């Protein structure tokens, strides 16, 4: 039975993950102010799925260590902490769920499926944490947050599809960067 392998991070690894996080936040920056005021559950995840999936997969292809996605989540959460403290919690829980499930299934990021799975579902896993936060902090019921079930289903499907599309594109970019000796 294979176990999840834990390796120590080097300063170079952490700096690379921090740079990937910064680029991800910059890439998603133009869309963020538009969707942050939307009250439909899943809208933010759908809007952020493509840049987060794309750039996160590149980061995970370079730093193939367990905990890499959590580090990305902490770095992005720290930036979001300045805007809305609850967003730090949202990012951290989403990364723990995504990475935990991916590594539970695939054991390491050496397997490309683990990178696709983890990066592709990262934004999706922000949806349940957002729902819980809205219930606890804002007193909004699930029915209020979902609104029209068809719209909610489309937003969830969009978050998953865009997350996986971003992760696939990120993997292709990582392949080209590896061939060029830059990753």
Give dist(CA 122, CA 50) in Å, integer: 10
**How does DSSP assign 112-149, residue by residue?**
HHHHHHHHHHTTTTHHHHHHHHHHHHH---HHHHH-SH
Give dist(CA 11, CA 38) in Å, integer: 38
CB contact set of 146 (below 8 Å; sequence gap of 6+):
40, 41, 152
Tens place of pLDDT for every residue, the chain, 183 residues?
A: 566 666 889 999 999 999 999 999 999 888 888 887 888 899 999 999 999 999 999 999 999 999 999 999 999 999 888 887 888 888 999 999 999 999 999 988 988 999 999 999 999 999 998 899 888 888 888 998 998 999 999 999 999 999 999 999 999 999 999 999 988
């Amino acid at each position: 039975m294979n176990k999840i392998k834990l390796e120590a991070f080097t300063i170079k690894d952490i700096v690379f993950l921090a740079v990937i996080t910064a680029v991800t936040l910059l890439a998603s920056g133009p869309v963020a102010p538009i969707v942050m005021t939307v009250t439909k559950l899943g809208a933010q995840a759908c809007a952020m799925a493509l840049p987060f999936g794309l750039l996160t997969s590149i980061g995970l292809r370079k730093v193939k260590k367990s905990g890499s996605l959590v580090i990305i989540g902490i770095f992005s959460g720290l930036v979001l902490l300045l805007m809305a403290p609850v967003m730090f919690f949202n990012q951290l829980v989403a990364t723990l769920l995504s990475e935990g499930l991916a590594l539970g299934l695939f054991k390491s990021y050496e397997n490309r499926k683990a990178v696709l799975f983890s990066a592709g579902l990262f934004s999706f896993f922000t949806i349940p944490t957002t729902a819980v936060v809205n219930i606890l902090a804002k007193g909004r019921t699930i029915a209020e947050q979902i609104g029209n079930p068809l719209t909610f289903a489309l937003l969830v499907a969009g978050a998953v599809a865009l997350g996986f599309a971003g992760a696939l594109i990120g993997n292709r970019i990582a392949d080209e960067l590896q061939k060029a000796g830059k990753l």
